[in-house]
A and B are shown apart, each in its own frame.
Chain A
């Protein structure tokens, strides 16, 4: 009996490893893209990611262990819009994997069809801080962009493995349906609070606030990528008092000191939203990302009694 169980276990391990052999290896630069790729790829892909959801995606280190991941991957999915400009290019250059070069057929820029906000028009200079010339790269925080990303991934995976195209299409349809349901849920939760004014630390949230009708009236950072300054903080406090803003949204990788000080002055509440899948322990996939964030925002609005 025991040996039979053992045999069955061995068989299933062998089966699993044979299965793993046939899988398409995917590396995504962030856990958000990883989650969506998993939704579409299912058992036909193995997905890994580079940056963790709780680290600042602008400042990831180009560790050689990432080179190994990229070396053996069949597909690289990047956020794009220069989010990874400080660390992805040297990794790709050293990966010795010609297909994932930005001109290769296994490099997928997930922003291609996304709704991108804050694309600078007119002249831009670094006096404006660390501006992204091709628009705000935190676009995955709008759920509709999750759908667009999923669609790109579905297309790409079908290209890589045409026999599985129907499988990926079916997974996409399922994801799309669940996302539409979830969107209704999130919209319903946020519906009473359309137009509520908030302050955010970095410009990470335009797609989120756009999707759920929040109004961002200012930032803790005086300019993108520039740490808080006393004069800007004072101005922000006055503006928040004037407009009766009670919510400060920050990312888990920023220091709470300044936002907390602002909150004390204005009676606002600081909420640490998950900017990405993996940003908090319970945020394990793309749906839970919005579940978590919407829940925090709604609770904070209720508690502070903001209108």
Chain B
């Protein structure tokens, strides 16, 4: 094609384009048509053929969409027929030269109702004519099914460990998630955890999103808001295992995770994000054990957050929880925790670089018939993303045991993570642990994580 005929073709396409939009506020039709008229005489035959071909192509597309739409609506059991939306005679100029972008449809099947256009230059505001409506919600007979996903977590362990045994190769967990909005007032999230031990409710709670007074309430079984690591699912942690302090104070990988009610409120102020949370639980998780029905456990948390600049932010928290334990007749365990997280993620390079430093300090006060025990435990970790798919991290653990503050376990870990995509992850971790018994273990762990189903939100 010569330059001239290209210009002509585009002008003609522009003409049909604008005639399609003539009902809209697109007020340039006469000018475009006038400009196109003299050039049209150059090779009308060829152009007419081209236009006819385009129209034919378009009609086939339209028919196929119409049929598809009708089938879809029939499946939905809709009482209304499925009229085909009004179509332009020809697609926009670019579509005339077909682009290879797969599935690029000049015009998707959409709703049929138009959007009212206020009169253009006059500004009188009176609705006049309609714009063709594009898009529209994806229709499917399964629209009310919850979002579903399965997250597989495969862990391998090598090396010697006589204190804590773990299998060499294990399909550690398959977590099944169901998430949906319940009604205008609430949403529900259910996480079932299938492990070699069996199937259990990892979490299952209702979130009341429409409470007055800036309140947010959750009811059900859930991870208690104690610190950071305790609130996270295994697949969102930056490590394969959990820090020693979680094992010694909070009951291991499961952590504080119980049936109860949680209410939190934003404490609005001009300086930073501040959130207060109060929770009450059955009292049978981690270090807690009830003897009577009213031996519930209580939890309080205060979290502050502030952006230092657009890339860097600081997240601080304080948590306290109290519940009955199994060490005596009417003995309680009290836990106090402080957590601090510093994040750095430059926005322009957000998909290639990020850094996070985190520490959690915990104090456990365990009432026992034979003398109370006060113990301290902590971890500190740093994670750095050094390429689009690569992360490196370190963690240092040190924690006494809740029942005997003189027994201290500690050790470092080094972690490398590779992300083939957003939906899978391969991780290796070297862990050295000095147990209070005087045993030192060196272990190499590796993990494959994969997620299928609905796209979950990323954890912050």
Give the interface segment out of A7-15, A41-49, A173-181, A288-296: A173-181
> Across the two chains, which residue of chain B brings its CB closest to A176?
B25
Chain A residue contacts of B386, Cβ below 8 A = none
B138 touches A134 (CB 8 A): yes
Q: Assuming the A-B contacts A119-B103, A206-B104, are A184 and B28 also in contact, with contact meaning beta carbons closer than 8 angstroms in the complex?
A: yes
- A227 CA to B184 CA, complexed, in Å: 40
Q: Assuming the A-B contacts A67-B273, A213-B93, are A62 and B457 also in contact, with contact meaning beta carbons closer than 8 angstroms in the complex?
A: yes
Q: Assuming the A-B contacts A61-B460, A65-B307, A194-B10, are A111 and B135 also in contact, with contact meaning beta carbons closer than 8 angstroms in the complex?
A: yes
Question: How does the 8 Å CB contact mask read for B330-343 relative to A, with 1 for contact and 0 for none?
Answer: 00000000000001
- Chain A residues numbered 57-81 whose CB sits less than 8 Å from any CB in chain B: 59-65, 67-68, 71-72, 81
Q: Which of B7, B118, B187 contacts A173 (CB 8 A)?
A: B118
- Please count the residue pairs between chain A and chain B whose beta carbons lie under 8 angstroms apart in the complex: 220
A169 touches B107 (CB 8 A): no
A192 touches B3 (CB 8 A): yes
> Across the two chains, which residue of chain A brings its CB closest to B419?
A227
Chain B residue contacts of A300, Cβ below 8 A = none
Q: Assuming the A-B contacts A55-B348, A98-B210, are A154 and B458 also in contact, with contact meaning beta carbons closer than 8 angstroms in the complex?
A: no
Interface flag for B439 (CB, 8 Å): no
A101 touches B28 (CB 8 A): no
A173 touches B119 (CB 8 A): yes
A225 touches B421 (CB 8 A): yes
Q: In the complex, how many angstroms separate the beta carbon of B362 from the nearest chain A beta carbon?
A: 22
Interface flag for B235 (CB, 8 Å): no
Chain B residue contacts of A212, Cβ below 8 A = 94
Q: In the complex, how many angstroms separate the beta carbon of B98 from the nearest chain A beta carbon?
A: 8
Q: Which of A169, A215, A227 contacts B99 (CB 8 A)?
A: A215
Chain B residue contacts of A96, Cβ below 8 A = 209, 211, 214-216, 266
Question: How does the 8 Å CB contact mask read for B298-310 relative to A, with 1 for contact and 0 for none?
Answer: 0000010111001
DSSP majority for the B interface?
Answer: loop
Q: In the complex, how many angstroms separate the beta carbon of A182 from the nearest chain B beta carbon?
A: 12
B105 touches A119 (CB 8 A): yes
B136 touches A215 (CB 8 A): no
Give the interface segment out of B253-261, B289-297, B349-357, B376-384: B349-357
Q: In the complex, how many angstroms separate the beta carbon of A232 from the nearest chain B beta carbon?
A: 15
Interface flag for A231 (CB, 8 Å): no
Chain A residue contacts of B107, Cβ below 8 A = 115
- A115 CA to B100 CA, complexed, in Å: 18
Q: How large is the interface on B (under 10, 10 to 19, 20 to 34, 35 or more residues)?
A: 35 or more
Q: Assuming the A-B contacts A63-B313, A68-B266, A116-B135, are A85 and B118 also in contact, with contact meaning beta carbons closer than 8 angstroms in the complex?
A: no
Chain A residue contacts of B215, Cβ below 8 A = 96
Q: Which of B134, B315, B452 contacts A115 (CB 8 A)?
A: B134
> Across the two chains, which residue of chain A brings its CB closest to B93?
A213
> Across the two chains, which residue of chain B brings its CB closest to A210?
B94
A195 touches B25 (CB 8 A): no
Chain B residue contacts of A67, Cβ below 8 A = 266, 273
Q: In the complex, how many angstroms separate the beta carbon of B276 from the nearest chain A beta carbon?
A: 13
Question: How does the 8 Å CB contact mask read for B430-460 relative to A, with 1 for contact and 0 for none?
Answer: 0000000000000000000000100101101
B94 touches A214 (CB 8 A): yes
> Across the two chains, which residue of chain A brings its CB closest to B109?
A119
A90 touches B460 (CB 8 A): yes
- A33 CA to B455 CA, complexed, in Å: 24
Chain A residue contacts of B305, Cβ below 8 A = 63-65
Q: Assuming the A-B contacts A96-B216, A177-B120, A210-B94, are A253 and B103 also in contact, with contact meaning beta carbons closer than 8 angstroms in the complex?
A: no
B134 touches A101 (CB 8 A): no
Q: In the complex, how many angstroms separate the beta carbon of A258 from the nearest chain B beta carbon?
A: 11
Q: In the complex, how many angstroms separate the beta carbon of B12 from the nearest chain A beta carbon?
A: 12
B460 touches A62 (CB 8 A): yes
Q: In the complex, how many angstroms separate the beta carbon of A221 from the nearest chain B beta carbon?
A: 11
Q: Assuming the A-B contacts A52-B347, A215-B94, are A170 and B210 also in contact, with contact meaning beta carbons closer than 8 angstroms in the complex?
A: no
A176 touches B460 (CB 8 A): no
Of B7, B120, B138, B209, chain A has the most CB atoms within 10 Å of the CB of B209
A151 touches B94 (CB 8 A): no
B455 touches A135 (CB 8 A): no
B103 touches A173 (CB 8 A): no
- A152 CA to B131 CA, complexed, in Å: 11
> Across the two chains, which residue of chain A brings its CB closest to B92?
A210
Sampled A-B contacts (27; CB under 8 Å): A52-B347, A54-B347, A56-B350, A61-B460, A63-B307, A63-B313, A64-B275, A64-B303, A82-B455, A86-B457, A93-B216, A103-B184, A112-B136, A116-B134, A126-B423, A134-B137, A148-B115, A169-B125, A172-B118, A173-B119, A173-B125, A176-B25, A194-B97, A195-B97, A209-B99, A216-B101, A225-B421
* Residue positions of A touching B, CB distance < 8 A: 52, 54-56, 59-65, 67-68, 71-72, 81-82, 85-87, 89-90, 93-94, 96, 98, 101-104, 111-121, 126, 129-130, 133-135, 147-148, 151-152, 154-155, 165-166, 169-170, 172-174, 176-177, 180, 184, 187, 191-192, 194-195, 203, 206, 209-218, 225-227, 252-255
Given contacts A90-B460, A209-B99, 18 further A-B contacts (CB under 8 A): A62-B457, A98-B184, A101-B184, A103-B181, A115-B107, A116-B135, A117-B106, A117-B108, A121-B68, A147-B25, A170-B123, A176-B25, A194-B94, A206-B101, A210-B95, A213-B10, A227-B388, A252-B348
